[in-house]
Structure 1
């Protein structure tokens, strides 16, 4: 009887602890402007750690992994900490995996950002997109030209200005996208689709 009573008290304590624990929203890396490819030289991209409501989470740090080395904002070349914002300077061609990390070591999903010395980039959302949403992928060229968009190496139908509109996005739209003028080709960017 005492053992059963002790078990009930312990179980009650665990339930109270679980119910009173603060809920933690998922943290994501926000990239402004919202795409993964940029021309070099360029100005800046702003990297921020945000919760599900889009509010800045100050306890998390923006970090980058490239060439096997992990660096944090404010202590790495081209990653400048300015008034609690991480500024990515688009000076030198490079690529890296950017993410947010908490003091306890929890990490957000990575965003692969490419700073390209080429003449053609693909503007695709940096965040995963939701099924049912409408998204636009856009080829951007330093000079005007005719563009073709590709998904996983297969040519997609797009308008003459290199814009591909994905209506009612589905999991089947997920993949590696790039664009080409026939002479130049952009780096590839992954479009990630999440279910609702």
Structure 2
């Protein structure tokens, strides 16, 4: 089943999320996989639901899987391939995860859940037997992107451009395709700093009008300076002869 972004039910105001253990989207036939509903608060009433490739909607513990609390343990077969999610009794949904069960010799181990931009992600070409050569070709959206002799490919820091359909091939066969979703956290904008666009005269005018006490203080200060200056000019200055007479009288 080919998964596209339209199939993802994202975390939009939902109290639950579906986790997959081990965290990969492809499994060999009869491999053990555990699907768990991680719920904020009480998990009672949540169940794992599947929409198979045939379009049949069913719950865990009906004709597939074994329900244990809010988890479902499965030993899947190819007909169990499809979309899985958590659902409450009131109709609330979690995210959806696409799982492919392959009865061939090769699968691609890729994350079942969305990966965060900047994280390191390793894709592995896994074989059911023990191949003599681990060399594998990795494809994205149908185009060869890398050949690795170790059978695994690491993306040191994934970005939105790495999102797409991946598969691998080797001498043993070809894996199914799986969609890898990359989420990029939205940065929190810093608060804008107000820019002072007022001219200096207007700023001074605003300060004077808005501060009457400051205006009165300035006026009183100006009056005090003027009266002091006028008092100094009214005192007669002694002439040189007056100063000499004062000196003789003291002797």
Task: Indicate whether 1:192 and 2:177 are aligned.
Answer: no
Contact conserved, 1:28 with 1:108, CA < 8 A, in 2? yes
Task: Indicate whether 1:179 and 2:159 are aligned.
Answer: no
Structure with greater strand percent: 1
Look up the SS of the partner of 2:119 in the other structure.
coil
Structure 2 partner of 1:120: 106
Structure with greater helix percent: 2
Unaligned ranges ≥5, structure 1: 1-23
Please, which of 136, 140, 145 is the counterpart of residue 147 of structure 1? Answer: 136
The offset of 1:158, in angstroms, is: 4.3
Structure 2 partner of 1:131: 117
- TM-score norm. by structure 2 comes to 0.62
Unaligned ranges ≥5, structure 2: 1-12, 186-251
Alpha carbons of 1:83 and 1:104: their partners in 2 closer, same or farther (altered >3 Å)?
A: closer
5 Å matches for 1:63-142? 63-66=49-52, 67-77=54-64, 79-90=65-76, 92-94=77-79, 95-142=81-128
Look up the SS of the partner of 1:172 in the other structure.
helix
Paired positions, count: 168
Greater relative contact order, per chain length (Cα 8 Å cut-off, separation 6+): 1
Aligned partners of 2:27, 2:55: CA distance in 1, in Å? 22
The offset of 1:183, in angstroms, is: 5.6
- CA deviation vs aligned residue, 1:38-96 (integer Å, no higher than 9, x gap): 11133x101001148xx99344211000111111111132x111354210113x22311
Give 1 or 2 for the bigger CA radius of gyration: 2
The offset of 1:28, in angstroms, is: 1.7
Q: Which moved more, 1:153-162 or 1:168-177?
A: 153-162
- TM-score norm. by structure 1 comes to 0.78
Contact conserved, 1:41 with 1:117, CA < 8 A, in 2? no
Aligned partners of 1:106, 1:116: CA distance in 2, in Å? 30
Aligned partners of 2:42, 2:36: CA distance in 1, in Å? 7
Aligned partners of 1:56, 1:186: CA distance in 2, in Å? 39
